[in-house]
Structure 1
């Protein structure tokens, strides 16, 4: 089964006031941590969707070496500024060209995610033969990371504006066709306060 992850890294970081993906954490960066988890997990390939101003300088240098470089690629979404839906659709189009059987949507600002979290989602998906997706949840609400079948690819064409994959699968007709699982400490780092609290928690 070819499972491709899409890391959404095309946001403008408006609430942070600066490029949050390059903020330091554990000797690396926020987005670099997400990329590392994806590359070391059981996904087949990783696609990073960026905007025209993001050149993935936050990526760990070792991943540009031959050992890793064939396992991931970068695509630019020129319309990323119009909302997350454009990044999602750009990523899915790239996955269709690579003949993906399933796609996992990841956010580049969730550095607490580990390869074990991602593998857990993959394993649950493989065990849930009749379900079209497996999504993590926070307080009962589904959100990335989300792994979904290629059977849903065409339905993502209906995404508009800043509507992301999490909002998409909350549609009642779709929600009944998937599995939700808990992933501990699932937070997005959007503001300076989020970042300070995350760093403080790691140091405690």
Structure 2
């Protein structure tokens, strides 16, 4: 049983991937301020707004996270590797026992906070659930526990995208908000993200 009283396999978790080095940004983008808080804090807030019992942030050594009081608790896992597959596998390992895991990206600050609940309601027996806007899938992705073993077989900078594109048992939830595609790669992206969400 989890700290929130959930039985094994009866709860969702959220994984926030934040181990990259932000080469295109030119400095530590996840610590860059946006609306009075570090960029990464916005992704963590979206993850905590999801219907989850646990939030895991997978990040690299040296990145300072602001305190995250409240529930669900935020667990921080430090990882020397920046390979996407290693980051994702580490997150999945940290939430074993969950019936599924939302995958959030640390550089996507404007994810609508109600979207994760819609994905959870839609996944049913599907392998995964994803939001879609303008015909394009976006984030966060909700992976069922059936996907965990396949995630653990990924290598290098391979994420879950190619794996999900090969399957016909992925559920899509249509969304009108283009923020499901918006990530911060360069300083001008951060400037575009500033202001009301």
TM bucket normalised to smaller: 0.7 to 0.9
Answering whether residue 34 of structure 2 is matched by residue 36 of structure 1, we say: no
Which aligned pairs between 1:50-199 and structure 2 lie closer than 5 A?
50-56=59-65, 59=66, 61=67, 63=68, 65=69, 67-68=70-71, 71-80=73-82, 83-96=83-96, 99-125=97-123, 129-171=124-166, 174=167, 176-183=168-175, 184-185=177-178, 186=180, 187-199=182-194
* TM-score, length-scaled by structure 2: 0.85
Deviations 1:9-67 (A, max 9, x none): 101011100111112222212110111122233111100001122232xx3x3x2x4x4
Moved more, 155-164 or 3-12: 155-164
d(CA) in 1 for partners of 2:80, 2:58: 10
The answer for unaligned runs of 5 or more in structure 1 is none
How far the C-alpha of 1:86 sits from its partner, in A, is: 0.6
* TM-score, length-scaled by structure 1: 0.82
d(CA) in 2 for partners of 1:53, 1:110: 20
Pair 1:145–1:122, CA change in 2 (3 A) = same
- Normalized per residue, the structure richer in helix is 1
Contact preservation (8 Å) 1:4, 1:45: yes
Aligned match of 1:48: 57
The answer for unaligned runs of 5 or more in structure 2 is 1-9
Contact preservation (8 Å) 1:144, 1:165: no
d(CA) in 2 for partners of 1:53, 1:160: 24
d(CA) in 2 for partners of 1:138, 1:160: 29
Contact preservation (8 Å) 2:49, 2:114: no
Aligned residues: 185
d(CA) in 1 for partners of 2:102, 2:85: 15
Aligned match of 2:27: 18
d(CA) in 2 for partners of 1:160, 1:168: 12
Aligned match of 2:14: 5
Deviations 1:131-175 (A, max 9, x none): 11101235534343110111111111231211112333112xx2x
d(CA) in 1 for partners of 2:163, 2:136: 12
Query: Which 4+ runs in 1 deviate beyond 4 A?
Result: none
d(CA) in 1 for partners of 2:27, 2:103: 24
Q: SS where residue 144 of structure 1 aligns?
A: coil
**Alpha-carbon RMSD:** 2.0
